[in-house]
Amino acid sequence: MAQLDQLDVMSRKLLAGKMKGERRSKRRGQSVEFADFRNYVVGDDLRFIDWNIYARLDRLFLKLFLEEEDLSLYVLLDVSKSCDYGNPNKAYYMKQVAAALGYIGLVNYNRVTIAAMSDGIVGETGAMRGRRRVAQMIDFVEKLTPNGPSHLAEACKKFALSHRQKGVCVVLSDFFDKGGYENGLRYVAGGKYDLFCVQVLSPQEIDPDLQGDLKLRDMEDDDMAEVSITQPLIKQYKANLNAYCLSLKDYITRRGGTYLFTSTAVPFSTLVLNYLRERGLLG
């Protein structure tokens, strides 16, 4: 907790907030930080006229300051059935990460929204601010149980429509969606949000330890795949997984987002304290 306290959510973009916050905003506003000058227009607040320049140039210029606003942090947490898999469990791991991010956001007076998604948005905290909301946030996260199929597109679309406020959007998911991730990420990538995608996979998915003739059951839709595990098949699976992850990364980075891959075998603290900092989400 102490370590988390020292962190804050960073955005590479200067995003406009709704309320006065502790973060520089795109907007010019009242803060101590100078942003620019502009010509005086009748009616401007005389307090911001730069008198020194007036004395030197005999013209009125208005000093503009950067507005300090709060930052919206959206954490999109995948709670589809497919996340309830692996050892350590993916859903549990993602909930831990979401809670940590939420905590960091709250203690830094950011506007934190945690949304749980599966085939849509299945739960949402609403915007929270301040340390006092930590308990509420954790309670929400704790009560989430993985259920239902993944439908990233539907979830992201709903989320994007209902959250117009710009901010940092962190998507925690395994991105195993048979409908494809592109449709979903389209809504959250670009424009409004500073996108961070964290793909969480369990070691069993990265390096499957399977043997024999198996009937693989999809946890979400009970789809069956009959396989006979052989070395070439495992090799091919790994190659496919790798290609899938690379294409996801490519998609995200091309749209200005940040992609981070993690295994649940990586201790959650290492992820939060090191990896997310390295990628610039936390500072």
Partner 1 sequence: MSWFPVFLNKWYAAGAAALVIPALLILYFLKLRRREMPVSSTFLWKKAIQDLQVNSPFQRLRRNLLLLLQLILLMLLLLSFSRPVANHRPPPGKMNVILIDRSASMNARDAGSKETRLELAKREARDLVDSMPKNGTAMVIAFDDSSETLQPLTHDQAALKTAIDRIQPTDRVTRIKLGYQLADAQMNFDPEQYRPGIDPPDVYLYSDGRATDANDVTLRGKLHFEKMGSDKTGNVGIVALSAKRNYERPTEVQVFARLANFGPDPVEVPVQLSVDNEVVEVNGNRSQSTFLLPDRWDRDERDKYEHNGGRAELNSVTFNLDVTSSAVLKIEQMKRDGDGLFADDIAQVVVPPPRSLSVLLVTEGNFFLEKAINQLGLKNPDVLHPDVYESLSTDKRNRYDVYIFDRYNPKVLPPSGNFIYFLNGKHGELPDDAKVKVAKTPSGQTAFLEDVGILDWKRDHPILKDLDLGKLYIAEATKLDVPKDAEVLIDGLKGPLLVMNRTARGTNLIVAFDCLQSNWPLKVSFPIFLHNAMQYLAVGSDMDVRQSFSPGATPTIPRVNLQRAGNPATVTLTGPEGPQKIPVPVNGDFALPAMNRVGLYTTSPPIPQYEQMAVNLLDANESNLLPADHAPGDINAPVEAAGGAKARLELWWWIVAFGALPLLIIEWWVYTRRVYI
- Concatenate the DSSP letters of all residues of 3-31 into one string: HHHT--B--SS----SSEEEEEEEEE-SS
Q: Note whether 202 binds partner 1 by CB under 8 A.
A: yes
What letter would DSSP give residue 51? H
Query: Residue 73 forms beta bridges with which residues?
Result: 112, 168
Candidates 223, 254, 269, 270: give the one binding partner 1 (CB under 8 A): 223
Contact present, 174 and 200 (Cβ < 8 Å): yes
Residues 67-96 that bind partner 1 (CB under 8 A): 82-83, 85-86, 90
Q: Note whether 241 binds partner 1 by CB under 8 A.
A: yes
Q: Residue count at the site for partner 1 (CB under 8 A)?
A: 35
Tell me how far, at minimum, the Cβ of 39 lies from partner 1, in Å: 59
Contact present, 151 and 176 (Cβ < 8 Å): no
Q: Note whether 64 binds partner 1 by CB under 8 A.
A: no
Candidates 237, 275, 277, 279: give the one binding partner 1 (CB under 8 A): 237
Q: Note whether 209 binds partner 1 by CB under 8 A.
A: no
Which residues make Cβ contacts (< 8 Å) with residue 53, sequence separation at least 6? 37, 59, 61
Q: Note whether 48 binds partner 1 by CB under 8 A.
A: no
Print the SS3 string covering 220-245. CCCCEEEEECCHHHHHHHHHHHHHHH
Under the rule (CB under 8 A), what is the footprint of partner 1? Answer: 82-83, 85-86, 90, 174, 176, 178, 202, 205, 210, 212-220, 223-228, 230, 232-233, 236-237, 239-241, 244
